[in-house]
Amino acid sequence: MDKIGLKRLHHVSFAVSNLAESKHFFGEVLGLPEDNRPDFDFAGAWYALGDRQLHLIEKAGGRGEARGQISRSDHMAMEVADLDAVKARLNECGVPFVEGGNERLGMSQAFCSDPDGHTIEFVRYRA
């Protein structure tokens, strides 16, 4: 039991430097459905992550980490039913990825970076 009345994780939020480029990656490449977003006074987009959300918030300035760097600590993970389908889609869209190498732990993983360098993990657990 938590001590603060926590119900569940609601969303993950990423600061992005180019909203259009990030919307293309999450909406077109990954195929996440875009959710309705309140009319905030700053640019952004919301995407459905199963029963949770990803919030993109456009920031002024440059990118975070350099493209292609895979962070083990700062990342978002999405459980998928078919990791081969994810890898095929990433290849089709020219998005480089690395595999996790944790099959001995009962999982297969692939990691890529979004346009701002945020690490995105795709994981498939074996039963």
pLDDT in tens, 3-15: 757 778 889 999 9
CATH entry 3.10.180.10 includes domain 11-125: yes
The residues pairing with 76 across neighbouring beta strands, listed in sequence order, are 120
The reported pLDDT for the residue numbered 61 is 60
| Mean pLDDT, range 90-103, rounded to an integer | 93
pTM for the full predicted model:
0.80
Which segment of 55-59, 74-78, 82-86 scores lowest on mean pLDDT? 74-78
The reported pLDDT for the residue numbered 19 is 96
- Residues sharing a CB contact under 8 Å with residue 81, sequence separation 6 or more, in sequence order: 124
Could you give the angle at the alpha carbon of 72 between the alpha carbons of 68 and 77, nearest 5°? Answer: 90
